[in-house]
Amino acid sequence: MNGEILYQGHASIRITTKDGKVIYIDPYSGKHYDKPADLILVTHQHFDHTAIDKPPKNENCIIWQNFDAQQNGEYKSLTVDGINIQAVEAYNKNHNKANCVGYILSFDGIKVYISGDTALTEQMPELKNENIDYVFLPVDGIFTMSPREAAKCADIIGAKYSIPYHSDPGSEFDINQARKFNAKNRIILKPGETITY
């Protein structure tokens, strides 16, 4: 069975691993909430990232939020069913460092970095050593980075593929804003589109 990374819209992502484990990150936007969750991750507590009641849940579903993932400035890790999640820094002028995280997920031999609502962080240069396969970076230019700033972050992180998300605070997706993200090896996913690995 192939694994799948599904972009639901705005900042919402659903990952289905090769053995069928289902991870929702920042549930809120779009469709495709039909698969029961094994794991739900939340990067911060703004309403457009925290619809944790939207997905159905398997009996042993774990919900891991920013206040679980970062405590007193210490970034935590979690391993569930062979999926490793490492919390990392996320912050900008609209998002307090103490209340926000990003996540690097390692599973099925790949690494996916969900940056959350952030700007360039002090930690990002270190992430080049993580050999990240896919990074999702916000590009709305209002509450998060501009596409140009996000492209600089993509260059610093050095992931194999860089994907713009959080492109418009008022809608699921803004194709024009996403196209301004001129990172190397850019992939533009529209809501409902997937990466199969």
Range of the domain at 56: 4-190
CATH assignment of the domain containing 127: 3.60.15.10
pLDDT of amino acid 7: 98
- 10 Å Cβ neighbour count for 50? 18
> Does the residue 197 lie in any domain?
no
CA gap 178, 168 in Å, rounded? 9
Total domains present in the chain: 1
> Does the residue 92 lie in any domain?
yes
CA gap 148, 159 in Å, rounded? 17
pLDDT of amino acid 170: 84
> Does the residue 196 lie in any domain?
no
pLDDT of amino acid 97: 96
Q: What is the CA radius of gyration of the chain?
A: 15
pLDDT of amino acid 73: 93
Question: Mind listing the pLDDT tens digit of every residue in the chain (197 residues)?
Answer: 999 999 999 999 999 999 999 999 999 999 999 999 999 999 999 999 999 999 999 999 999 999 999 999 999 999 999 999 999 999 999 999 999 999 999 999 999 999 999 999 999 999 999 999 999 999 999 999 999 999 999 999 999 999 999 999 889 999 999 999 999 999 999 999 999 99
pLDDT of amino acid 173: 97
